[in-house]
Amino acid sequence: GAVVSQHPSRVICKSGTSVKIECRSLDFQATTMFWYRQFPKQSLMLMATSNEGSKATYEQGVEKDKFLINHASLTLSTLTVTSAHPEDSSFYICSARGVTGANYGYTFGSGTRLTVV
Amino acid sequence: AQSVTQLDSQVPVFEEAPVELRCNYSSSVSVYLFWYVQYPNQGLQLLLKYLSGSTLVKGINGFEAEFNKSQTSFHLRKPSVHISDTAEYFCAVSDSWNTGNQFYFGTGTSLTVIP
């Protein structure tokens, strides 16, 4: 079945530094990947949609210069949180959309717990 | 615009008892409906989905849900819960399955199974 690997699962960084989160579709090609943010005891909020080879589409209120998204291949999308601050601490989850056969549908990564100190 | 309402934020239930987690949606177009489960510090795992066809959908771990168009509901049920079912459950809706549109998630229901 469709598997999405997200790395790292947990990261702690100092305020002002940048953090990169990777999302890989392991056994299918994902033309579209989504990045979500989840605050404690809240639902998932879509941050941006990325299509392979093109610029990401950001949701209203999400700073594109702060949350850099790259989708350079059909199996990899990255989210870089630049100049992280404590308020960026959250759980970030990616999902990838497969379009053929058994991989048809949306598969979520296991999430990344970011803590900025 | 679409939205999803999960009426119960927390549902405690005793082990081996039945459970129903409620989900209502609003949409002016055809919908595709999903239930996901999230264990602590993990991503979302698909329990089941309704795309078309039979309104009663069976998923993994003994869960099932029924799509009721007239009531715009997609409630999740399990006849006998286990301790391992303790988790957060999210209902989601999408108006398109194959054009890359986003999902709209409910606020989640925390299911706690009491021994």
pLDDT at A106: 75
Q: Which of A5-9, A44-48, A71-75, A97-101 has the lowest mean pLDDT?
A: A97-101
**Strands across the sheet with A4-7, in order?**
A4-7, A19-25, A76-81, A67-73
Q: Summarize the confidence of residues A28-41 as an average pLDDT.
A: 86
Structure confidence at residue A84 (pLDDT): 96
B43: chain A residues, CB-CB within 8 Å = 4, 6, 93, 108-111
pLDDT of residue B102: 64
Residue B6 near residue B60, CB atoms below 8 Å = no
Residue of B98, B102, B107 with shortest CB distance to A42:
B107
Q: Over the stretch A77-87, which tens digit does the pLDDT of each residue have? A: 999 999 999 99
Please check whether residue A2 is in contact with residue A105, taking contact to mean a CB–CB distance below 8 angstroms: yes
pLDDT greater than 80 at residue A64: yes
Identify any residues that bridge with A69 across adjacent strands, giving them in sequence order: A79
B74: tokens are 């997609």
Percent residues over pLDDT 90 in chain A: 57
Q: How confident is the model at residue A1 (pLDDT cuts 50, 70, 90)?
A: low
pLDDT of residue B108: 92
pLDDT at A82 (0 to 100): 97
Nearest CA-CA distance, residue B57 and chain A, Å: 16
Q: What are A24's strand-pairing partners?
A: A5, A76
Amino acid B66: pLDDT: 96
Residues of A in contact with B90 (CB under 8 A): 43-44
Backbone phi, psi, residue B85, to 5°:
-80, -5
Say yes or no for a CB contact (<8 Å) between A106 and B102.
no
Rg (CA), chain B: 14
Best of B44, B88, B91 to mutate (most A CBs within 10 Å, chain A):
B44
A-chain residue closest to B32, CA distance: A105
Task: Quote the CA–CA distance of B7 and B81 in Å, as a whole number.
Answer: 20
pLDDT at A35: 94
pLDDT (tens digit, 9 = 90+) per residue, A65-102? Answer: 999 999 888 899 999 999 999 999 999 999 987 665 44
Predicted pLDDT at B67: 95
Which candidate from A10, A43, A51 shows the least CB-CB separation from B90?
A: A43
| Cα–Cα distance for residue pair A45/A73, rounded to 1 Å | 24
CB pair distance less than 8 Å for B42 and A110: yes
Are residues A36 and A46 in contact, defined by beta-carbon separation less than 8 angstroms?
Answer: yes
> Across the interface, which of A9, A32, A43 has its CB nearest the CB of B108?
A43
Chain B residues in contact with A93 by the CB 8 A cut-off are 43-44
A90, closest residue in chain B (CA to CA): B41
In which residue ranges of chain B is pLDDT below 50? none
A93 → closest Cβ in B44, B49, B102: B44
Number of other residues whose CB lies within 10 A of the CB of residue A57: 15
Residue type, B91: C
